[in-house]
Chain A
Amino acid sequence: MSNGHPTREEDFDLYVLGALDGDEKLAIESHLASCADCARKLAAARGRVAALSFSAPRVAPPAAVKERLMRQVRAEAEGRGAEDRSIAERPARGEVTPRLDASRGSGGRWWLPILAPACAVLLIATLYLWRQNEQLAQQVNQFRSTMIAQQRELDETRSVAHMFEARDTLKVSLAPMPGMAKGEVKVMYNSKMGMLMYDGWIEPPPEDKSYQLWVVPMEGKPVSVGVLNPATSDSAHWMTKVPAGVEAKAFAVTLEPAGGMPQPTGPMVMEGST
């Protein structure tokens, strides 16, 4: 650091990355708070570091999330009218407290002994209210997460019921390939609904590797269902959306680099035909 300024752009990148420890982090933080030039460099570093996200294996965004999001937005819009009315009745957040003016009055500074404790009380009250506000904001976040989780559970329960009822739902057992990891996996798959349910267990993959489950279609390239990283050999059960309309001839689990790949590159670990 030179005159407090980080000397190289990578210093900003390392800070944004979260790689700096203890004193190094504190030094850059205390400088950034008061240096507009470095704040601009920091914004550019955030962009450079954010580009690293593009090194992650591509995962298609689940359509179900968009559906839930838009339902959440509509539900919020419906409740907004009542909330807006209640907000309008509150004082504005940026409202200015009337300023005490020392030039007024003719009694000199006799009020200072009163004002000092009053300021202290006001400061304590402000800190208390700020803390309360923080706690409320955290509670709202928790409620929102709970609501999303409950909505998800409801959706999944409905989807499971539909899958079980549907005559065109495939039920396939995947058998381990000789010499590969042990496991027992069953999938239920409905191509029209674009839903797949996984039930089973598989030995944990080697470190720096992941398992990846694929739908092998009648025509075209395998479609990734998701990455499996079991930490233990315990049984797991989950359901996910896959692109609808893919007619499956088989399902396979392959061993891939950690995080998965766009197409299978590693050895087949399990396989099951329809």
Chain B
Amino acid sequence: MPATDAALIQKIIARDESALAALYDRYAGMLSSVLNRILRDTQAAEEILQDVFYQLWCNPSRFDPARGSLPGWLVVIARNRAISRLRRHNPAAGEEILENTVVMPFDLESSASQQQLLERVKGAMESLPAEQRAAIDLAYFSGMTHSEIAERTGDPLGTVKTRLRSALETLKRSLQSTMSGNP
């Protein structure tokens, strides 16, 4: 049976390189996908991917398996860094999340469970009206605020706010049904 994330983190704390390699194999695909989608630059995405795992190696005890989800934590760090680079922010801006907790009530330790969530999220995204999907895309993958999205799309600010809120409500309902095992 494969080692749990918590067990692998303990091994990394004990400086076991094979544990880092195992976590890379488990989550690098997930991170690589989001980094490439945000940056659209293979080289920049690879640099951040390597650095996120290197940070995990250097500071494994900053992640507390009892308080949150490792894949969620890694995704948040990777996205913050990618958005910082995309928007030419201070590269250290994404560091603030290092001490924070990310609760993701999905088991993502197997590729099958990752595939299941992927299909659920993609299905939920596809079920959104095109304008809501575009607003979520601009906010999550381009790091845009309400007013920046309104400026980009030419839509009124209130409309953009409503679209994002409605989209998040739909996605939340869909993810809750995933957790409860409903189709």
Contacts and interface: CB of A to CB of B under 8 A. Distances in A.
A9 B48 CA distance: 30
Interface string B13-56: 00101001100110011111110110010110111011101100
A158 interface: no
B72 interface: yes
Nearest to A134: B92
Contact of B76 (A46, A58, A70, A149): A46
B100 A46 contact: yes
B8 interface: no
A238 interface: yes
B165 interface: yes
B68 to A, nearest CB: 6
Contacts of B36: 56-57, 59, 227, 259
B29 A46 contact: no
A59 B101 contact: no
A233 to B, nearest CB: 17
B92 A137 contact: yes
Given A10-B168, A46-B72, A72-B50, A54 B122 contact: yes
A76 B57 CA distance: 10
A10 to B, nearest CB: 5
B91 interface: yes
B21 A66 contact: yes
A20 B165 contact: no
Contacts of B171: 48, 51-52
A50 interface: yes
B146 A21 contact: yes
Interface in B148-183: 149, 164-165, 168-169, 171-172, 175
Nearest to B119: A54
B20 to A, nearest CB: 6
A74 B17 contact: yes
A5 interface: no
B30 A48 contact: no
A1 interface: no
A49 interface: yes
Given A58-B29, A66-B24, A144-B51, A77 B15 contact: yes
A53 B43 contact: no
B144 A19 contact: yes
A256 interface: no
Nearest to B149: A19
Contacts of B164: 14, 17, 19
B139 A19 contact: yes
A68 interface: yes
B118 A54 contact: yes
Given A14-B168, A73-B20, A148-B47, A43 B100 contact: yes
A138 B95 CA distance: 11
Given A18-B143, A66-B24, A68-B50, A59 B29 contact: yes
A115 B1 CA distance: 62
A138 to B, nearest CB: 6
9 contacts: A19-B149, A50-B75, A51-B175, A59-B32, A64-B46, A69-B24, A77-B17, A226-B42, A240-B42
Interface of B: 15, 17, 20-21, 24-25, 28-34, 36-37, 40, 42-43, 45-47, 49-51, 53-54, 57-58, 67-69, 71-72, 75-76, 79, 83, 90-92, 100-106, 114, 117-118, 120-122, 125, 136, 139-141, 143-147, 149, 164-165, 168-169, 171-172, 175
